[in-house]
Amino acid sequence: MDIALEADKHSENQTQMADITAHQLHSVVAIVPAAGIGSRMGAGKPKQYLELLGQSILAHTLDRLLSHQQITQVIVALHPEDTFFEVLPQAQHPKLVTVLGGGERADSVLAALQIAPEHSWALVHDAARPCLTEGDIDKLLASRIRFPQGAILAMPVRDTMKRADAKGEICATVCRDHLWHALTPQLFPTSLLKSYLQGAIAAGAVVTDEASAMEWAGISPGLISGRADNIKVTHPDDLGLAELFLMRAIK
């Protein structure tokens, strides 16, 4: 990037950060991108609608968000042909609204951001993470004072990390110092996230989560250590583990 452009971008970011600090206690809007089909599960329905302890994965996820007192609204981005959501009891909750999602996660999040209040915080959470705790939400929301630019829940890498080559053989051991697993929720000022997500998509950048859009814009989000049981249900084996964690939380 041109040095002058980089300087302008940095100056703009600093100004926006100052504005955000002044509004850091405004409302929190949860966004749940739920337009995916979850093909890796090999099920006859999207993974977020598979059942866990009597209700769907998505229903458990929404319960965690709708019950939190600091979250004023929950926006769910749905697939245009979704026929499962409307029968969920949570679909009638007064805090909840829906939008049509897009082909990629970033498109769905951006669609939800379009209707979120400008001076709010966007708390983006995976539909398939039903084990989120109130305590982890509290920790992330409290981080706004330390990280006015936004932060994400994450877990320090504990295992030895290996890099593979094209043949599926180990080519290097990666130092795990300062490596983190990115989790959700991810919390950012709504106006900044919307602006940088739009910019990253337009630039053709790889946006795998909200933090990567902020990084593209030169922002360094904070890292908040989250719980190990905040798992994402991605493969069939994850269902039993998520059920175990939910049962333990109920006791």
Domain containing 224 — which CATH number? 3.90.550.10
Residue type, 25: L
Q: Is pLDDT at 11 greater than 80 in this prediction?
A: no
What is residue 45's predicted lDDT score, i.e. its pLDDT? Answer: 86
Q: Please, which pLDDT band fits residue 162 given cuts at 50, 70 and 90?
A: very high
Range of the domain at 55: 3-250
Instruction: Provide mean pLDDT across the span 119-146.
Output: 97
Count of domains forming the chain: 1
Record the pTM. 0.88
Q: Is the pLDDT of residue 12 over 60?
A: no
Statement: residue 14 has pLDDT above 70: no
pLDDT in tens, 98-129: 999 999 999 999 999 999 999 999 999 999 99
Across 19-36, average pLDDT = 76
pLDDT averaged over the chain? 90
C-alpha 12: how far from its chain's center?
25
CB of 208 closer than 8 Å to CB of 200? no
* 138-141, long-range: CB < 8 A, 24+ apart: 139/224, 139/226, 140/185, 140/187, 140/224, 140/226, 141/28, 141/70, 141/187
Q: What's the rounded mean pLDDT across residues 72-86?
A: 96
pLDDT average, residue stretch 79-86: 95
pLDDT of amino acid 197:
97
